[in-house]
């Protein structure tokens, strides 16, 4: 027995050495011989999985790693390797589940905590991502990459001071990390500290030159915030190749310089490049079916047959801000959050969670068959949804004793508004409107993933706008949801009166800070952050006229929404 063990150990040592030397066939042969004697040998499974992974045989590598997990459920490396394999093979959702399983098996798995934190951060689940990144740091101590990832996560939540501190620590710990330097410069720019951001970018440029890359996009973005914005445009104009994000930035600057045809081409090319790089596409048929199902499920009579949840007294209530991305919802949230009794929640992911809970509790009856919804669930569902939403809001730090309200501006809220209305029957609803064609121009010039990735092609964005606009009007007119409609153009033209009307809908008096929202120290972590750091202006009104010819297909799709809003065009 001992001789066999020693022989296997020696064979594994030779197999590892062969793999390190690139002799995969020999490594596989040696590991295979060990597996013939002991099919659950962790060392042999590891070597064989490495060989299959290096050879591109993802399916076999996955099988071997899952075998290793079954053999040793508490060991870290099989789960860690499997999660990395799933990421490399373009299966992030599987990687996420592997990480969750790994943490469930052992919360002290630092690699799983770090990977899950990065995965969640990458898809904008920032609060959850930050929790796992913090857990990883608590396990391994200060680590520059983890500090950088957490710092950027916090900055994207709007917590710029915390993010800056961590990013500076990451730069100190890894001075050659271009990523950490670039993120630090971005955070300083977002905090309106342009000179400091420029100094950091100077250091980043020197480092980038040694690494055969550049920070042209970051420099152009910084310059776009200053009177020297044309120099940023010149940098991008002279760049030989641009990423999708850089094309969008150049397009915005070309638009600002009245180079409208070139700007539109940059928008189209930039969005196409981003879609190719990410694999994102708009599932139009599935979205249309979902909307049809929701309208049928929440017809007036069925909706009235469901019991609304009682208002939970003594707890801040949500304000649901409805509107297509780039319609002015960030501006409205900034106005609201400048009030002493209102906190900014941002784009909270809770509505989609409520939809998943309703589907689970109903055994799949929601959202396709109201008649199959059990009677007891019709009476209890709303309270269950309310309690889940409030528990999540508390975890996000939104249920503060000095606040009456907090905002929720997730664009998906329009889809699931009846669920939100059942859970919070007294919550204020604010529907933000803007000329649909101006929304299209802004949507095509910025990257966003809301709306089932509709924003990567003009036709998809227009289709989704038309569908969700009609759905919102149905909730208002068909189900009688009381909404305060706020037109972006009216707010620009009559800020004081429109702000007073908005606050009247909430039952609060306007505060002076709301009329000077652009001076708020709060950072709005959306693509609109720069705009809401400026006083109200009319520069974005009527932009669509400069792009009328390429917008014609969208104008046809949006004709009803344009007419309903009494807009020209």
Tens of pLDDT, residue by residue over 65-119, are 999 999 999 999 999 999 999 999 999 999 999 999 999 999 999 999 999 999 9
Is the four-CA dihedral 400, 528, 465, 455 of positive or negative sign?
A: negative
Q: What angle, 0 to 180 degrees and rounded to 10, lies between the N-to-C axes of helices 329-337 and 495-506?
A: 70
Return the SS3 of 307. Answer: coil
Which pLDDT band, with edges at 50, 70 and 90, does 1 fall under? very low
What's the N-to-C CA distance of the chain in angstroms?
85
Q: Which two tokens stand for residue 421?
A: 């209305």
Helix (H, G, I), strand (E, B), or coil: what is residue 407?
strand
Question: What would the DSSP string read from start to end of 462-522?
Answer: HHHHHHHHHHHHHHHHHS----EEEEHHHHHH-HHHHHHHHHHHHT----HHHHTGGG-S-
Q: What digits encode the pLDDT tens for the residues 152-191? A: 999 998 899 999 999 999 999 999 999 999 999 999 999 9
- Per-residue pLDDT tens for 292-316? 999 999 999 999 999 999 999 999 9
**What CA–CA distance (Å, rounded) separates 240 from 432?**
40
306, 358 Cβ separation under 8 angstroms: no
For residue 425, pLDDT beyond 80 = yes
pLDDT of residue 321: 97
Q: Which of 528, 530, 418, 542 is nearest to 478 (CA)?
A: 418
Mean pLDDT over 33-56 rounds to 94
pLDDT band with cut points at 50, 70 and 90 for residue 527: low
Q: What is the mean pLDDT of residues 492-511?
A: 96
Chain-centroid distance, C-alpha 551: 27
Predicted pLDDT of residue 534? 79
Architecture of domain 289-564: 3-Layer(aba) Sandwich (3.40)
pTM: 0.87
User: Does residue 569 carry a pLDDT above 80?
Assistant: no
Taking 80 as the threshold, does the pLDDT of residue 328 lie above it? yes
């Amino acid at each position: 027995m001992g001789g066999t063990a020693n022989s296997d150990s020696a064979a594994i040592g030779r197999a590892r050495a062969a793999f390190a030397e690139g002799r995969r066939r020999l490594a596989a042969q040696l590991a295979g011989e060990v597996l013939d004697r002991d099919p659950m040998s962790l060392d042999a499974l590891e070597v064989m999985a490495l060989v299959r992974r290096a050879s591109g045989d993802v399916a076999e590598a996955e099988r071997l790693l899952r075998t290793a997990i079954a053999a040793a459920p508490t060991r870290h490396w099989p789960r860690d390797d499997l999660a990395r394999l799933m990421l490399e093979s373009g299966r992030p959702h599987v990687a996420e589940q592997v990480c969750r399983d790994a943490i469930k098996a052992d919360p002290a798995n630092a690699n799983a905590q770090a990977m899950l934190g990065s995965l969640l951060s990458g898809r904008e689940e920032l609060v959850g991502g930050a929790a796992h990144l913090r857990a990883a740091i608590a396990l391994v101590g200060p680590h520059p990459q983890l500090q950088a990832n957490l710092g950027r996560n916090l900055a994207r939540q709007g917590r710029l001071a915390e993010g800056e501190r961590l990013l500076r620590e990451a730069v100190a710990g890894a001075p050659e990390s271009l990523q950490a330097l670039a993120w630090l410069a971005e955070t300083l720019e977002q905090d309106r500290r342009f000179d400091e951001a420029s100094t950091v970018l100077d250091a980043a440029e020197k480092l980038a030159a040694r690494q055969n890359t550049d920070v042209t996009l970051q420099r152009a973005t910084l310059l776009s915030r200053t009177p020297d914005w044309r120099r940023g445009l010149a940098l991008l104009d002279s760049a030989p190749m641009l990423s999708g994000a850089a094309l969008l930035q150049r397009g915005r600057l070309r638009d600002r310089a009245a180079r409208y045809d070139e700007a539109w081409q940059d928008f189209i090319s930039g969005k196409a490049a981003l879609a190719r790089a990410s694999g994102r596409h708009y599932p139009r048929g599935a979205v249309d079916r979902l909307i049809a199902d929701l309208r049928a499920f929440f017809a007036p009579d069925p909706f009235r047959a469901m019991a609304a949840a009682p208002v939970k007294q003594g707890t801040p209530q949500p304000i649901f801000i409805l509107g297509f991305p780039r319609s002015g919802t960030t501006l409205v949230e900034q106005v609201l959050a400048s009030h002493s009794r209102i906190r900014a929640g941002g784009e909270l992911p809770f509505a989609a969670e409520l939809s998943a809970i309703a589907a689970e509790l109903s055994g799949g009856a929601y959202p396709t068959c109201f008649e199959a919804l059990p009677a007891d669930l019709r009476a209890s569902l709303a309270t269950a949804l309310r309690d889940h939403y409030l528990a999540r809001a508390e975890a996000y730090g939104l249920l503060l004793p000095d606040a009456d309200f907090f905002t929720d501006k997730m664009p998906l809220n329009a889809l699931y508004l009846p669920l939100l209305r059942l859970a919070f029957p007294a919550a204020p609803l604010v529907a933000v409107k803007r000329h649909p064609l101006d929304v299209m121009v802004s949507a095509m010039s910025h990257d966003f993933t809301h709306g089932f990735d509709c924003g990567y092609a003009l036709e998809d964005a227009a289709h989704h706008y038309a569908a969700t606009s009609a759905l919102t009007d149905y909730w208002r007119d068909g189900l009688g949801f009381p909404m305060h409609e706020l037109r972006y153009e009216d707010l620009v033209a009559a800020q004081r009166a429109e702000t007073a009307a908005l606050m009247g809908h909430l039952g609060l008096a306007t505060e002076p800070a709301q009329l000077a929202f652009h001076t708020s120290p709060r950072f709005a972590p959306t693509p609109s952050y720069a705009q809401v750091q400026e006083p109200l202006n009319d520069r974005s009104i009527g932009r669509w006229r400069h792009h009328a010819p390429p917008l014609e297909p969208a104008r046809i799709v949006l004709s009803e929404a344009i007419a309903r809003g009494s807009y020209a065009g």
